[in-house]
Every structure is written in structure tokens, then in C-alpha cells.
Amino acid sequence: MSEVRDDVVFGVHPVLEALEAGRAFRRVVVVRGRSGTDIERIVAAARERDVPISYEPRDVLDRLAGQAKHQGVVAQAAATAYRPLDTLLADAGRRPGGPFLVVLDGVEDPRNLGAIARTAEAVGAGGLVIPQRRAAGVTAAAVKASAGALSHLPVAQVVNLARALETLKKAGCWLVGLDASSPALYTEVDYRGPLAVVVGHEGAGLRALTVKTCDFLVRVPMQGRIGSLNVSVAAGVVLYEALRQRSTQGRRASFEG
């Protein structure tokens, strides 16, 4: 019978369901010579989520699963486990200045996720919030690009990002979104106090609903011939402005008025 362990999932249906549900895996291991429709679906789901696939002798899978009844498929858990949003928010709220989070609205390249995580950890952010679908997860590529940051930075993966943003607002966080079309520069808002910096998709940017939900939209000025920055670079610029402001003394200025 197929089963689930804390560090691995094995069996055709458990692995496929876990992949489709967005669970993060370090890799999926398939026994050499195994084929069929179910295996093809698993391979397709893994590739869609940038989870590496390897083909190994049966004894390797026996050892990983801890038994021989694995149906020829074993998925190893990602290096970083996801946190519930409420837990991440509560932990971040205990830091001086309140929560300081980074929200990724559809970043698809795991290398960008890793690079943003590396900067977020460096500036002292309390964690990342990412959507479960149509976005990069904490894969091996993301972990590598983070240079170890994802081993320290908690990540919440949410089913409904719009609802998660509303949860952050109810907790007192100001939402500052990066939008290249905004008239406001990233230096023109106050990043002190409870904060979530929201970063959009590499090409499309923030979704319309996310734009409406954000309290402020800011842009990084461009003077060259290139029309945009890499999303991780833009995020880094804004996050370091947030760090600069949050390192100064004094209370947050009011956004109202």
C-alpha cells in the first residue's frame, strides 16, 4: 500500500496528488524502466513545477521509501517546509517594528524566487508569501539561487493570494506594490512599521486585483534604454530602501491626509 512519510511521499497517486497540490519537493525519483500514463503525468507535473526528476535502480527507491512497496515513484521533500500564513505572520510580528514580509504575486522563475529570498533574508525580512499555483515554489533551483537563505527564511504558500493580502492588511500591514507604471518613486513612501512589499510576475507584473489591494504602488526609476529591471533586482532596490528607513529611529509617518 502506498504511504506518506514526513520526508518523502511514495506511490503513484500520493506523489501525483502532492505535486498537483503544490507541495515543494527536492526531486522526484522514478525507477528505471517504469512507464505508463500515470508516470507520464507525474513527470509532466514535476517539470511544470521545476522539480528535478531522476531515474534510479529499484534498490535506491527501496532505501528512500524505507520499503519495497513504492510503485516505482518516490518524491523527496524540499529543503524548506512551508509555514502556515498565520504562524509566519505571528512570528514576524514579534520582531522590532512589526512584520516585514515579502509577497510574490506570480513569480515563475525559481531562480528569481531564490534571489529575492536571498535579499529578503539579508535585509531582515520575516518571511516570504507565495501563491500555490502558477508560481515558482521552493524547489531545488530556488534553494540553490538563494545561497542558503531559504534555510533560514520562512515561506508561506497560500491557495488564495488575494485573501492572504487581506489577512496581512487586517493584521496592520501596509502593502507596498512594485509597479513600473506608478507615478510614485520607491523612495517616496514610508516603509517603517508593519509592512509587506509585493512583487509581481516577471513579465506581466502585479495582477489587477493585487494592484487594487495594495495601499501604495511604487516604481524604480529608469534612465537607460532598457525598459525594465529583473524582478529580483527591482525587489532588492526597494527592500534595501525599506531596510534603510526601518533602521532609523522614530515612528511611522501617517499615510493619510
% pLDDT > 90, the chain: 60
pLDDT at 5: 41
* 255 pLDDT above the threshold of 50: no
Query: Residues 42-96: pLDDT tens digits?
Result: 999 999 888 889 999 999 999 888 888 899 999 987 655 688 999 999 999 898 8
Out of 63-72, 112-121, 145-154, 213-222, which region has the weakest mean confidence (pLDDT)?
A: 145-154
For all residues of the chain together, what is the average pLDDT? 88
Euclidean distance between CA atoms 139 and 52, whole angstroms: 8
Long-range pairs for 249-255: beta carbons < 8 A, 24 or more residues apart: 250/192, 251/192, 251/193, 252/190, 252/192, 252/193, 253/190, 253/192, 255/174, 255/189, 255/190, 255/215, 255/216
Out of 4-8, 50-54, 208-212, 235-239, which region has the weakest mean confidence (pLDDT)?
A: 4-8
Contact call for residues 160 and 227 (beta carbons, < 8 A)? no
Out of 54-63, 172-181, 188-197, which region has the weakest mean confidence (pLDDT)?
A: 54-63
pLDDT at 25: 83
Instruction: Provide the whole-model pTM.
Output: 0.69
> What's the rounded mean pLDDT across residues 108-116?
93
> What's the rounded mean pLDDT across residues 127-150?
83
pLDDT at 7: 66
Q: Which domains, ranges and CATH numbers included, belong to the chain?
A: 8-77 (3.30.1330.30), 85-246 (3.40.1280.10)
Helix 85-93 and helix 161-170, axial crossing angle in degrees, nearest 10: 30
